[in-house]
Amino acid sequence: MNVEANLDNYFDDDVELTPETDQGGVIIPKQTCEHVQYVELFEKLKHINNKQCIDCGSTNENWLCLSCGKLHCSRYINNHGEEHWLFTLLTDGNYNIGHCLTISLQDLSIWCYPCKSYIKNIRLNPLIKHIESIKFGLLSTDENENENENENENEIHSDTINKLIVKNNIQNPSTIIAIQDLLLSDVLEKTDLLSYCYTIKIRSASIDELVCLHSSDYVNMIVSAEKNQLNISNNYFNIEYNETTFSNARLSAGITIDVIQNVLDKHINGFILITSPGHCALRDHGNKTSVYNNIALGINSILMKKSKPNKQTNSLTLIDSRNRFDVQGATRIENAICHMIHVLTPASIIDYPIDSKISTIIDNNNNNKIQIERVLIIDLTSEHGCGIQSIYYESDQVFYISIHNENHKHKSNYFECGKNDGLGYTMNIPLSSIDKINDTDYIYIINELILPITKIFKPELIIVCVDFHIQQLTEQCYAWIIEQLSMISSSKLVVALDGDLSCISSRTSYVQTVLSALIGKLSLINNDKWKNNTDINSDVRQKIDLVKQEHKKYWSCFE
Task: Return the CATH number at 109.
Answer: 3.30.40.10
Residue 107's domain comprises 3-139
Q: Has residue 289 been placed in a domain?
A: no
Residue 390 belongs to a domain with what CATH number?
A: 3.40.800.20
Q: Has residue 323 been placed in a domain?
A: no
Q: Has residue 396 been placed in a domain?
A: yes
Q: Please say which residue of 120, 139, 158 terminates a domain.
A: 139
Q: Centre a 10 Å sphere on the Cβ of residue 354 and count the other Cβ atoms it contains.
A: 17
Same domain for 186 and 62: no
Same domain for 185 and 126: no
Residue 347: the pLDDT is: 40
Over residues 312-354, the pLDDT tens digits come to: 443 333 333 333 444 444 555 555 555 555 445 444 333 333 3
Candidates 455, 519, 535; CA nearest to 152 is 519
Is 204:131 a contact under the CB 8 Å cutoff?
A: no
- Span of 199-208, 267-276, 337-346, 468-477 with lowest mean pLDDT: 337-346
Candidates 443, 495, 497; CA nearest to 467 is 497
The DSSP bridge partners found for residue 102 are 65, 111
CA 87 to chain centre: 33
Q: Please say which residue of 86, 118, 139 terminates a domain.
A: 139
- Decide which of 355 and 475 is more confident: 475
As a dihedral over the C-alpha atoms of residue 419, residue 299, residue 357, residue 330, rounded to 10 degrees, the angle is 110
Average pLDDT rounded to a whole number, residues 485-510: 88
- What is the average pLDDT score of the chain? 78
Q: Has residue 168 been placed in a domain?
A: no
pLDDT at 423 over 80: yes
Q: Report the phi/psi class of residue 251: left, alpha or beta, with left for phi > 0 and alpha for psi in -120 to 50.
A: alpha
Q: What is the pTM of this model?
A: 0.71
Q: Which amino acid is at 375?
A: V
* Spatial distance between the Cα atoms of 258 and 200, rounded to a whole number of angstroms: 8
Give residue 258's pLDDT band: very low, low, confident or very high (50, 70, 90): very high
Q: Please say which residue of 139, 164, 189 terminates a domain.
A: 139
DSSP helix, strand, coil percent of the chain (3-state; round to 5): 35, 15, 50
Same domain for 193 and 90: no
CA angle 368, 273, 261 (to 5 degrees): 5
Same domain for 373 and 478: yes
Residue 334: the pLDDT is: 56
404 in helix, strand or coil? strand
Same domain for 33 and 112: yes
- Decide which of 357 and 189 is more confident: 189
Q: Has residue 350 been placed in a domain?
A: no
Q: Has residue 343 been placed in a domain?
A: no
Sign for the pseudo-dihedral over CA of 403, 406, 410, 415: positive
Count structural domains, the chain.
2
CA 374 to chain centre: 16
Q: For 553, what's the count of Cα atoms within 13 Å in the CB-facing half-sphere?
A: 12
Candidates 186, 156, 178, 181; CA nearest to 37 is 178
